[in-house]
Amino acid sequence: MAELLEFQNVTKIYSRGLISKQSTTALNNVSLKLDEDEPTILTVAGESGSGKTTLAMLLLGFIEPSAGTIFYKGKDITKLRGEERMTFRREVQAVFQDPFAVFNPFYTVDHLLTVPIEKFRLAKTKAEAKDRMEEALTAVGLRPEDILGRFPHQLSGGQRQRINVARALLLKPKLLVADEPVSMVDASLRATILETLRNLQKNYGVSIIYITHDLTTAYHIAKSIMVLYRGNLMEAGDVDTVIKTPQHPYTRLLIDSIPWPDLSRRWGESAALVKESEISDHGDGCRFYARCPHAMEKCKAPPPLFRMEPHQAASCYLHDRFPEISPDHVYELLPV
């Protein structure tokens, strides 16, 4: 396996306040690997505050881990310099939640697309630059003649988000991190944007880390899934298996809380929602303890990952009859 991306036991702790020394563990000992030769779509799912954006920021190199290492093509990304750093900046692209955020309202779309072409010297002439833009826009299902020359406010949210994907595609990325890319887009347009992402993976060989709080979209787009809760991996595996037969009470809660149009199965139990302020940590124990309908005494010690299927494991003592799998072997659970 030639590794494109590897998270090796990555932890991120944010400290706030010099005096009170409050700290938040946004990500705790998370490991994953993506293979360069087999582009795939991996979903990272969880509610707000579970550490998803932190994971994206870490992998883009915007922030550094407090512990552990992130490798891109075998190199620690915090140590990339010169040419290597430039390659990393080009090959690893992002699409964020707000389709408006990257647009300057005073410039046409052309400007947004020209900047990366110039920065990374992707074209020698103006004509070549225009070809590149048209190619990228067409690849995401937009008609260049509808888009070029327009200002951001003249476009729909769905068009803007597709332009963001086109902008990333211009750079011929190997890895795209999409952080809740459809959560601010009208429901009617979500499917087409997700389809666009899937085509990038299929037709252009781009691996995608798809970040979402919405398991319905995960189910439609991804091959594998990692479910986070308050920075900790709760469940990981094949997306079909995890969503149809979730094994962690937290994954069940997530699945229970959405209306499923195409899955008839419902879980009888439903974990009560608890206010954030009522959540106490019980030291190192399971982060889900306070909300879990199955909480037991032993959950006050950190639950290992138990592997119930070749492509499914859950960090929960309900499954302690199954063999343990080390957190840094999570990639074995993720089909490509």
- What residue ranges bind ligand ADP (CB under 6 A)? 14, 16, 24, 26, 46, 48-54
Q: Name the binder of 333 from ligand ADP, Mg ion, none, CB < 5-8 A by kind.
A: none
Q: Name the binder of 16 from Mg ion, ligand ADP, none, CB < 5-8 A by kind.
A: ligand ADP
Task: For Mg ion, give the closer residue by CB, 99 or 116.
Answer: 99
Q: How far is the CB of 118 from ligand ADP (least distance, A)?
A: 31
Q: How far is the CB of 54 from ligand ADP (least distance, A)?
A: 3
Task: For Mg ion, give the closer residue by CB, 213 or 220.
Answer: 213
User: What is the spatial order of strands in the sheet that 67-72 belongs to?
Assistant: 22-35, 3-16, 67-72, 75-76
Q: What is the DSSP letter of 276?
A: G
Task: For ligand ADP, give the closer residue by CB, 279 or 308.
Answer: 279
50 binds Mg ion (CB under 5 A): no
53 binds Mg ion (CB under 5 A): yes
Q: Can you tell me the distance from the alpha carbon of 180 to that of 210, in angstroms, rounded to the nearest whole number? A: 7
Q: How far is the CB of 228 from ligand ADP (least distance, A)?
A: 7
For residue 75, give the 3-state DSSP assignment.
Answer: strand
Q: How far is the CB of 23 from Mg ion (least distance, A)?
A: 19
238: left (phi over 0), alpha (psi -120 to 50) or beta: beta
Task: For ligand ADP, give the closer residue by CB, 212 or 315.
Answer: 212
Q: How far is the CB of 146 from ligand ADP (least distance, A)?
A: 33
Q: Which residues contact 165 (CB under 8 A, 6 or more apart)?
A: 95, 140, 176, 181, 193, 196, 197, 200
Q: How far is the CB of 16 from ligand ADP (least distance, A)?
A: 5
Q: Can you tell me the distance from the alpha carbon of 99 to that of 158, in angstroms, rounded to the nearest whole number? A: 8
For residue 5, give the 3-state DSSP assignment.
Answer: strand
Q: What is the DSSP letter of 271?
A: P
212 binds Mg ion (CB under 5 A): no
Q: Can you tell me the distance from the alpha carbon of 155 to that of 117, in angstroms, rounded to the nearest whole number? A: 22
Cβ–Cβ under 8 Å, residues 150 and 143: no
Shortest-Cβ-distance residue relative to Mg ion: 53
Amino acid of residue 177: V
Distances (CA, A) of 179 to 105, 224, 240: 22, 16, 21
Task: For ligand ADP, give the closer residue by CB, 109 or 227.
Answer: 227
List of residues contacting Mg ion (CB under 5 A): 52-53
